Amino acid sequence: MSMFSTGILVLTSPLHTLPFRIAPVLSSAAQLVERTLYVHLHPGLNLGSGSQPRPVFIPPVVDLSTLITSLYSNAADACGHLDVRVLLTNVRSQSTASSGTMVPNCPFPTPQLLSHSPDVVLTDFPLQDSGQSHEVTQCLQKYTGHCYVCSPRLRSVLLHPRLPRLEEKEEKRKEPEQKAKLLETHSDVVVGGTFDRLHGAHKTLLNISCLLANRRFVIGVCDQAMLKKKALKELIEPYSLRVHRLKEFLQDIKPSLQVEIVPLDDPFGVSIVDPLLQCIVVSEETRKGGEAVNKKRIENGLPALVLHEIQLLKDSHHTETEEEKISSSSLRSRLLGTLLTPPKDRSHLPPLPYVIGLTGGSGSGKSSIARQLEALGAVRIDCDKLGHEVYQPGTAAYHRVLEEFGSDILNEDKTINRRALGRKVFGNQKQLKTLTDIVWPEIAHLVRNGISQAREEGKQVCVLDAAVLLEAGWTDMVHEVWVTIIPEEEAVLRITERDGVNAGDALRRLQSQWSNAKQVEHANVLLSTLWEPEVTRKQVLKAWSLLQKRIQQNQEGQ
């Protein structure tokens, strides 16, 4: 069967049986849907009764909260490529409006517009006999169309024949019928977080918060000051994009809520000053933060918030350097070595050798990565070494440097003392530009010669190891830009150990260079030597393998 971009999965199984069905149901759905999968819960819905069922409100019971957690956890394992969203429009604690007047028990007076228009509806509803199939699919289409705005060509698929038989397991575990326990809900609920690369753990937090909130949902989103200590913070999505994705997700799952998203510049934000808030949703990991919020609220003369704790989602795909829980930092680390942004058009360059421009700040481990790439078969062009060559006596750059900066920068053997020269230009932008205007074009000339030689020798890949690749504007000589980064504090430690300078001098050296964030803006591929050498080696191997595929695709496309 063909793949669909967006689907709605209507789950009709009773809540007590769904935990056994989630994994196979999601696996089956993932074979048909490739982008977004909305999940609509209606336990007990009968699509084969002969009459057209109508959507009704279902109560926010504790089992529903548990089910949502299980659903997102299974989704991370069974269909990690899908954007799964559990819809809560039809979940409400009572059939009375906030004013106290009775309203009809129908959550969809008009079909709800979703951010992605569904073109298939799926269900786990079991057929009593094969002759029911046409009747049930038609009923499912009408039911879904009553709830959501769908594609006019909406298809319907019954997943039940594709699922393993689980009835025996379900019967064995079936508990005696008892009244489901309702969740304690609240008028105004608050949460805080970074919400980078919205994943299953975020969605669990947001969905359960929406279950708990009857009127207003306040979300504090970490802004600049709160991101400084985050791992690979340069890869955190912009605040505006994170907010946009939150708004879209929440509008889909519970459009009736009043959502307020505010920047979080400290660990507390509005949670300690808003008198209307009643509940804060935390995890085991952030519970102490919630307790600190309540301490501040009491100091401010406000009532303490109810702390509603949710469980963390385990990440079955985590590596030894990643957290055991599903986290944004793990997702960011998995981007290392991959193609972050497509290369710019480099049709003016010969296709081979394919030239990688490798750069990074002082102490970032750039040269060690260049040597690893060289060991894999790349021709390394060391711009630091070429920089020494252009200062040699008798070269054009040598004479121009002496004319501009004087003979007092010479050693006894008439070679240029680069330390003495450095003292003249350090901190003086005009003098530094004069020097780079002399030296950089000469280095670029030698680089081009090196690339031409590699081409004559039939080499496939060149790595241009250049600390000033971006500042010098040498990106027009390379097909891709690779950047290696480490946190500033780690770079300072490495520089002081390697060069025997103090921390202040090391920091000033780093601050005279382009920042990590500015370099990452130009990166096609990002690497980091922050962890053990073996971790870096795996990044480099991944980057090299993916590069070979790109080169092959380019050759096939010509």
Query: pLDDT for 44-83, tens place per residue?
Result: 999 887 788 899 999 999 999 999 999 999 998 888 889 9
Residue 531, strand partner residues: none
Q: What is the CATH number of domain 4-94+107-158?
A: 3.40.50
* Residue type for position 434: T
Q: Over the range 113-125, which residues count as b (16 or more CB within 10 Å of their CB) and which as e? A: ebebebbbbbbbb
Domain ranges of the chain: 4-94+107-158, 186-310, 336-557
Residue 308, strand partner residues: 281
Same fold, 4-94+107-158 and 336-557: yes
Q: Which of 181, 150, 182, 161 minimizes the C-alpha distance to 36?
A: 150
Token output for 71: 């659903």
Residue 362, strand partner residues: none
Report the predicted TM-score, pTM, of the whole model to 2 decimal places.
0.89
Pick the CATH number of 336-557 from 3.40.630.30, 3.40.50.300, 3.50.50.60, 3.40.50.360: 3.40.50.300
- What is the chain's pLDDT, residue by residue, as a tens digit (558 residues)? 568 999 999 999 998 888 888 999 999 999 999 999 999 999 999 988 778 889 999 999 999 999 999 999 999 888 888 999 999 999 987 544 444 444 467 899 999 999 999 999 999 998 877 778 889 999 999 999 999 999 888 999 998 766 666 554 445 454 544 677 889 999 999 999 999 999 999 999 999 999 999 999 999 999 999 999 999 999 999 999 999 999 999 999 999 999 999 999 999 999 999 999 999 999 988 999 999 999 999 999 999 999 999 988 887 777 777 777 888 999 999 999 999 999 999 999 999 999 999 999 999 999 999 999 999 999 999 999 999 999 999 898 989 999 988 888 888 888 888 888 888 887 788 888 999 999 999 999 999 999 999 999 999 999 999 999 999 999 999 999 999 999 999 999 999 999 899 999 899 889 889 999 999 999 999 999 999 999 999 999 999 999 999 999 988 876
Tell me if residue 202 falls in helix, strand or coil: helix
What is the Cα Rg of the chain in Å?
30
List % helix, strand, coil for the chain (3-state, nearest 5): 40, 20, 40
Tell me if residue 167 falls in helix, strand or coil: helix
Q: Which of 350, 363, 358 minimizes the C-alpha distance to 380?
A: 358
E-strand ranges in 205-257 read: 213-222
Classified by CATH at the fold level, domain 186-310 comes out as Rossmann fold (3.40.50)
